[in-house]
Amino acid sequence: MKPKDRDFIETFEGLMFCVVGYLHPPNRYTSYLKYIPDPTGRWSRGSERFSRVIDYYHVTQVEKTYEFLRRYYPMYLFNCPVRNITISTVPHSRVKRYYDPRTRLKSILDVGGQDPLERKLADFVEFLHSISGVDASLFGITGSILIGNHNPKFSDIDLNVYGREASLRLKESLIEQARTESKMKRLSEEKKKDWIAKRSKWLGITMEDMSMIAERRWNQGIFDETYFSIHPIRTDDEIRENYSELIYHQLGEVTGKAIIKDAREAMFLPSTYKLSNSEVNRGKNIKVNELSSYEGVFSDVFLEGEQIEFKGILEEVSGKQNFYRVVVGGAGSKNSYIRLLK
């Protein structure tokens, strides 16, 4: 099986990395550091305790982990010749344990869960199967439940669903279900306002723009009083880019406008929107064909035919194809965004 977005890796030092995307250097896993051993940490697994090294997922937070790694564990930093940036990766030789979300979920479902949160997770998967028909084998559990250091008092349910077809079926079912009364609910107005305010501040966009995104997000909510998020993940057959087939060169920050031409790849991470009628502040000779977001807030939000404004890092892509793209939420971008133009 190929490594996939939101798998987890434990190193011999006890560091916990989360796999990012599907492009991995030979003998390495592209990933970011999420948990470190800490005797005073809030997360625990038996006698082990952990703390999180990022407060939330954002490029500025991930790049802060590079400072920690550079000081204590430089072997986990890698100058990538394909992306032409420094990224955090885990060499295969440093992997103590690789965590597969589907295997972990199956072990929980087989026994019905061993604590209140695991039992709630089992109920949630059964609920999702009942409304969508998506088989339990196409789900996986990520985050703290995956690595077993969750706390039933405050941990969330971060669920994966595998494959485009299953993801679309689940999306349609959740949108329909949100209109009914059940154990699954959308965020309350209070929680939604908090979600909007925090992300508006992190991303540097207006509350109004963030409110529109919140209304369109289908993959988060509350199940039986616990927050959940759902993340579409590519299957092996849907992972089509091989490392070094394309080479990426950053050309600096740009702003621009475009029309969404194709949003079929926008549910995965990175979320990719094909563009038409693009204009950027680098001149008329540069036409951006693609917008790729590593910021999950913008996943599967914008629709084909809509006009958007964006800010991110312009990249020239060469290899089996040659084109320009803009990356949102990638290395070097602090306030990148996508917003709908009315």
Q: pTM (2 decimals)?
A: 0.95
Query: What average pLDDT does the chain have?
Result: 94
pLDDT tens for each residue of 250-278: 999 999 999 999 999 999 999 999 999 99
| DSSP string of 185-253, one letter each residue | EPPPHHHHHHHHHHHHHHHT--HHHHHHHHHH--SEEEETTEEEEEEEE--GGG--PPTTSEEEEEEEE
List the single range of 141-150, 181-190, 246-255 with lowest mean pLDDT.
Answer: 181-190
pLDDT tens for each residue of 315-340: 999 999 999 999 999 887 778 999 99
Bridge-based pairing of strands 85-91 and 77-80 is antiparallel
Domains in the chain, CATH or no CATH each: 8-99 (no CATH), 104-135+150-233 (no CATH), 245-340 (2.40.50)
